[in-house]
Structure 1
Amino acid sequence: MKIEELIANEKVVWQCIDSDAEWIGTIISFDIQEKNGKSFITLRHMNWKEVTPFYRSCNYNWAFFLYSLKCYCEDGEGIPYHKRKF
């Protein structure tokens, strides 16, 4: 990943320069906002060339990753990849 934009405590934007072929050229951003003493993260994974089964898998896995991050931040324990139950 190449950092395209970095605003401390607010935003991180990456451009994928080397990975799975479908990821190369995509942009991933994390927007961080505080509301009423709570942090909110908005993830965007943009610039996909087409919707494929891999795209759908990544969409699901990003959602699970964010859920695991939420668990870690709130409860002190995330959900490791190998312990996920589908």
Structure 2
Amino acid sequence: MTSTTSTRAEDFTAVLNLPSSPETVSALFTSAAGVSRWWGPTEGDGTVGGTLVTSFGDHGVNAMRVLEAGPTRVVWESITPDGTTPTGHTQEWLGTTMEFDIVPSGTGTELRFRHAGLTTQLECWDSCVAAWTYFMASIETFAKTGTGTPFGA
């Protein structure tokens, strides 16, 4: 039998084991205040159908339409924000999704993150991987200390 590798396997993924409750972890992705704690200053609505807009200062903004906002899974789709300056990689991110799976694990939570569509074929791959790696560490720092390292902090 011949096996083929799915391009989905090339998506950027990360798994974090966090010393926080699933409710605490979920709250980081389901409100503007939560996203602001680890990614950057964020405004908007974190409920299904809402839009979250995160500012990266002179670099522009990222806007995400909320597709799922449950206690165990949050999914955002990258969109072009109306009336704002998008970040340089927004065109490459359009149509990609950020998936956060929140799984109880022992006394904490396992966070499984995938940026579906963010693959090695994209021009921003190296810089986006570096940025996601930084912001995954920000989530870990928040879970351990109560304070993340979002953009502008």
Same fold, judged at TM 0.5 (above): yes
Aligned partners of 1:15, 1:82: CA distance in 2, in Å? 23
Aligned partners of 2:67, 2:107: CA distance in 1, in Å? 28
Aligned partners of 1:58, 1:2: CA distance in 2, in Å? 19
* Structure whose alpha-carbon radius of gyration is higher: 2
Matched, 1:2 2:29: no
Matched, 1:39 2:104: no
5+ long unaligned stretches in structure 1: none
Count of residue correspondences: 82
Matched, 1:17 2:79: yes
Matched, 1:59 2:129: yes
Aligned partners of 2:73, 2:140: CA distance in 1, in Å? 17
Preserved contact between residue 22 and residue 49 of structure 1 (Cα < 8 Å): no
Aligned partners of 2:118, 2:106: CA distance in 1, in Å? 34
| Cα shift at 1:82 | 5.8
Preserved contact between residue 77 and residue 96 of structure 2 (Cα < 8 Å): yes
Aligned partners of 2:76, 2:152: CA distance in 1, in Å? 26
Aligned partners of 1:77, 1:6: CA distance in 2, in Å? 23
What do residues 33-64 of structure 1 show as CA deviations (whole Å, max 9, x unaligned)? 11111111111001247623412211221111
TM-score w.r.t. the length of structure 1 is 0.78
Aligned partners of 2:151, 2:67: CA distance in 1, in Å? 27
